[in-house]
Every structure is written in structure tokens, then in C-alpha cells.
Amino acid sequence: MAKRFELLVFDWDGTLLDSAGAIVGAIQAACRDLDLPEPSDESARHVIGLGLGDALRHAVPDLPEHRYPQMVDRYRHHYLGRDHELRLFGGAFDLIAELDSAGFLLAVATGKSRLGLNRSLNTSGLGAYFQSSRCADECFSKPHPQMLHELMDEFSVSPARTLMIGDTTHDLQMARNAGVAGLAVDYGAHTAEALDTLAPLARLHKVEEVAAWLRMHA
């Protein structure tokens, strides 16, 4: 059967890597370090997927601009302190390996920095499977479509042949802004209800369901 999609673009945190809890904890710990009000778990989870600067501006809206370098430094201190503990979601490695074997073009579009993504790709063992990636310190932050536009241009793949897979409304809105179909997973950062407002092709509950959907529909 002919493939519906040629290019599959994955978000990283909360989609392939089980890191949402660590990100929330690092944001809240950084606020405590700086004697700032802690955002709720819900507020901190909402900003996952954005570039770090945009994420902190939303999570800590009263923070003066001149204190952002301090906030970023404390966030990184706490996140990197747990970075080595983070693992892929169960089945994620096998999913990516299977898609690679099936001949799909695979890419990552993430709110992580280039340094952070490269480190995570190396430690997870998935680096060899992704032909390209875009990070928040190289492009406009999600939901701006630049990451997807650049990836489609790089591979000369049309929007109709591209699928974005992610766990946040930022991923799905980016896909919509780029004219690309979106597939949602609800085991990451954003709630099922929030994801449904952007009408993804499907909303899936675990990695095994993502694999089954892609075998059937991609």
C-alpha cells in the first residue's frame, strides 16, 4: 500500500522522552531559588514544548526581564541534575526503529536547545534514526511554523505528505499553521481536552497505539 505520509516529524519531550515531570519540577524549583511564586503543575505543564525563554515568560509572567538569565540558569541547574535519569517512553525506541525500517523520513521539532537535543539523542540511542531536526534556539518557537517549513524544504516534501506527532497544543497549532496534519498523544504534557480542541487526526493514549495507528494510516 502506498504511504500517505513521507515525512514524520516528532516532538521530543513528552512524546518520545518521558520528561514532562522533570521539566515541571525544574521550573518550580527555579522559582523557589529566586523567591518567586511557583506556577501550578498545570501552568508549568502548559509551557512544555515552547522555547525556554518563551516558556519561562508564560510560566513566570511577573519576572522582570533583567532576571531572566538567573531564571534560565536555575532551571538548567535543576533540569540537568535529573537529565541522566530520564528515559524514553516504553516502546518509543522500537517505534522509531520500525518507522526507519519502513522507509519514512524521520525528523524532530522540539522546544529544546540544540545542545540539549543532541545530548538526548545520543543518550537515548535514537540519534542514528533521525535524518534531521530543528530546535528552539535555531527557529521561532512553536507554534510558529518555521521548524516544519524548514524540514519540508530540506527534504522537498509537501505539507500533504508530512505528519506532525506531539503531546501539546503547541505542536498541533504549529502543524495547523504549516498546513500539516497533526497526530496527538495524551500521555505527555497537555490534557486530552486541550488536544481535542485542535482536531488532530487521532488522539492516542500510549506509544503502542501510535505504532498501530501509523501502520494502519500512514
Helices 207-217 and 92-101, axial angle in degrees (round to 10): 20
How many angstroms separate the most distant Cα atoms in the chain? 58
Residue 100 among the catalytic residues: no
In three-state secondary structure terms, 37 is: coil
Residue 11 among the catalytic residues: yes
Instruction: Indicate the pairing of strand 105-109 with strand 162-166.
Output: unpaired
- Chain centroid offset of residue 191 CA: 15
The HSE-up count of residue 124 (CA atoms within 13 Å, CB side) is 29
User: Rg for the chain (alpha carbons), in Å?
Assistant: 17
Give the active site residue among 11, 54, 167, 171: 11
Which residues are CB-neighbours of 79 under 8 A, at least 6 positions away?
Answer: 22, 23, 26
In angstroms, the CA 174 to CA 106 distance is: 17
In angstroms, the CA 49 to CA 71 distance is: 17
Give the active site residue among 13, 18, 54, 186: 13
CB 185 within 8 A of CB 69: no
Active site residues: 11, 13
